[in-house]
Structure 1
Amino acid sequence: MWAGEGETARTLPWQLDPSRRSWRTMTEIEVAEPDGLVRIWSYEDTMQGSRHLSWGGGGKVPGSEALLWTLPRSEIVGAEIKRFSLDESDFRVSFRDGSWVRLTSSRNGAQRIVALLGQGMPESDPAPALP
């Protein structure tokens, strides 16, 4: 993360850091239409597994879903895959105030997030939620 005190990147939820959350906690990002808000949600996954294996793919534990963060889409100026990352799963999101954050997802997840956030304001197509 690169952000001064009070800048947008510093407002991202700590739950995005896998080392600081339960290994069963999943996060999702969505760009909601028609309000143009970017939202980050979390929930506990019901799939059996371990922190050392791929996780996700189960259902949501009832009552575990929580809205963690909201930002107008217009405050995001771009997103890009970091080519140096293993299987191109790292990506960077840049904000209008000059702050930015590097995050990791699955390769497919990173590509979908960059497609949603990397291209200026969405036109008329509704954006899908991302796992």
Structure 2
Amino acid sequence: MDWYPDADESTLLRTPIRFATGYAPAVAGSRWFRDTERRDIQGELPGWPEGPVFTLNTKTTQNVDRVAGGLINGMITAVRVAVEAVVGGNSVAVGTSPPRSAAEDPANEAEDFPVMWAAPGTRARTLPWQLDPGRRPDRYRVDAVITERRLVLLGVGSDMTAPAEVLWETPRDAVTGAQQMAFSEGGHDVRVRFSDDSWARLATGDTRKFAGLLADRRQLLPESDLTPGQRERVARLVAELPANAQAPRCFRLPSGVILVEAQVPAKVGKGLFETHSILMGETGEPARPQSGDL
């Protein structure tokens, strides 16, 4: 799964990604590909293999799903109560979904569920079909990589020793925004907007950081712009890191707080990294992010 950025860029984030899936009862388990007239366009996308065809769930289907969900949640609750009886009430529930919030965009979340909204010739139409869980092969995933210059989608097959395949990429300035969508399973959905007004709804493991990076809330800061106290704090961070750590990168957040990140190769797999970070103020003192920073 090796893939490395060019010499003049670095990997800011790498995370699995796919087209999202409907969450509201009428669209649960579904995804559609639309133009701006709300027509289905998946048959117009060049090179795309055939995929599943979805229809809105009927009231009967919704009721069955609701009953089944209630039974499953009841079983989870019963198991949790039994565990708490043994361990003294200090257990943590695993596998339950967070409470639903209200749909932010009912037309595209509760009444329909487009994961691609794209007029002819727009960038969203160029996204690879491998993002679709209903089309891609078994034991195959897509990773999103964000660097300072671009957003890249990589295909990773079952052979973990094979190089990752570059499926698609676009310059960062072609992405005009990324919004976390709270009304989603596990809160993992994000809507990515492009400069031509097309968009895609995707699900990713690190939604907050993915959206934050693409929303361009961080300004890359050269070390020469740091105060003496900030440079001293960065030096202490570097001294605490393993010898194979990458050089730290500094970002000014909208509030003025400085974020410093350094990546260390992970032991779990080649090409994967752990991120070590600090937040600091004007003199290098610890700081907290403000609203809108991250």
TM-score, normalising length: structure 1: 0.73
Matched, 1:69 2:161: no
CA contact (8 A) 1:74 1:121 kept: no
Q: CA RMSD in A?
A: 2.5
Give me the identity figure in percent: 33
Q: Which amino acid in structure 1 is aligned with residue 157 of structure 2?
A: E
Of 109, 130, 138, the residue aligned with 1:15 is: 130
Matched, 1:117 2:232: no
Structure 2 residue runs of 5 or longer lacking an equivalent are 1-115, 222-248, 251-260, 264-271, 274-294
Counterpart CA distance in 2 for 1:24 and 1:93 is 25
Aligned positions, number: 112
Q: Which has the larger radius of gyration?
A: 2
Q: 1:2 to 1:122 in 2, by over 3 A?
A: farther
**How much has 1:5 moved relative to structure 2?**
0.8
Q: Matches of residues 85-96 of structure 1 in structure 2 within 5 Å? A: 85-96=184-195
Q: Which SS does the other structure have where 1:40 is aligned? A: strand
Counterpart CA distance in 2 for 1:63 and 1:28 is 14
Partner of 1:39: 152
Q: Matches of residues 97-108 of structure 1 in structure 2 within 5 Å? A: 97-106=196-205
CA contact (8 A) 1:92 1:103 kept: yes
TM-score, normalising length: structure 2: 0.35
CA contact (8 A) 1:44 1:64 kept: no
CA contact (8 A) 1:13 1:69 kept: yes
Counterpart CA distance in 1 for 2:172 and 2:145 is 10
**How much has 1:110 moved relative to structure 2?**
1.9
Q: Which one scores higher on RCO, CA 8 angstroms, separation ≥ 6?
A: 1
Q: Which SS does the other structure have where 1:6 is aligned? A: coil
Q: 1:121 to 1:23 in 2, by over 3 A?
A: farther
Q: Which SS does the other structure have where 2:124 is aligned? A: helix
**How much has 1:62 moved relative to structure 2?**
2.5
Q: 1:11 to 1:92 in 2, by over 3 A?
A: same
CA contact (8 A) 1:77 1:120 kept: no
**How much has 1:31 moved relative to structure 2?**
2.1
Q: Which SS does the other structure have where 2:220 is aligned? A: coil
CA contact (8 A) 1:30 1:40 kept: yes
